[in-house]
Amino acid sequence: MKEIVELSEKTLTIDRNQFLKVKGSIDTNVYYVESGSLRAFVLDDFEEQTIRFGYKENILVALDSFLTGKASDLYIQAIKKTVVKVITKQQIDDFLQSETNRILWTSILENLVLQQMEREIDILTTSPKERYRRVLARSPQLFQEVPNRHIANYLRMSPETLSRLKKS
């Protein structure tokens, strides 16, 4: 991961609630979070569904746009003041010219597939308590970095249910 982050030549600072990406934009950048936190969500008819978070030392990317080069529906918004390093698709493509780097990149992508699968199981898990338990076990740090209401949305439950589960 360090090798990828080192490719960056640009740092961006965005304030709380400001957007890195909005619906309909083509954004092929990879973002490395230096400080702060972000959420990726979709929004239809004014109902938000958080898909992913990024906080200190995470990578966040609009993966659909990154892979296809096309517009994507994702919004990426800062939850608090956030500093990100920007790695462009071009920088990644240049990096992937070497065989060793391609092996490294493949392992990063494999890891991502596993994460996506965990997330898929989360969403398909019926019990709210079990959904909460899975995410807590996997990402205890998340509960330090991100306000409850966003985590509740991510877990597809009300903030009240989440705070009840946290106490029990």
111 in contact with another protein (CB under 8 A)? no
Report residue 97 as tokens. 């010219």
Interaction between residue 147 and another protein (CB under 8 A): no
Q: Does 12 bind another protein (CB under 8 A)?
A: no
Question: Can residue 166 be called a binding residue for another protein (CB under 8 A)?
Answer: no
Residue 54 phi, psi dihedral angles, 5° rounding: -135, 125
- The span of 8-16, 56-64, 110-118, 154-162 binding another protein (CB under 8 A) equals 8-16
11 binds another protein (CB under 8 A): no
Options 5, 7, 23, 157; binder of another protein; rule CB under 8 A? 23
**Binder among 1, 6, 11, 24 for another protein (CB under 8 A):** 24
Please tell me whether residue 18 binds another protein under the rule CB under 8 A. Answer: yes
* Smallest distance from another protein to CB 51, Å: 17
Which is nearer to another protein, 21 or 85 (by Cβ)?
21
> Pick from 41, 37, 40: which is nearest to 56 by CA?
37
Segment 40-69, which members bind another protein (CB under 8 A)? Answer: 43, 46
Q: What is the separation, in whole angstroms, between the first and last Cα of the chain?
A: 37
Which residues of this protein are in contact with another protein, per CB under 8 A? 14-19, 21-26, 43, 46, 71, 73
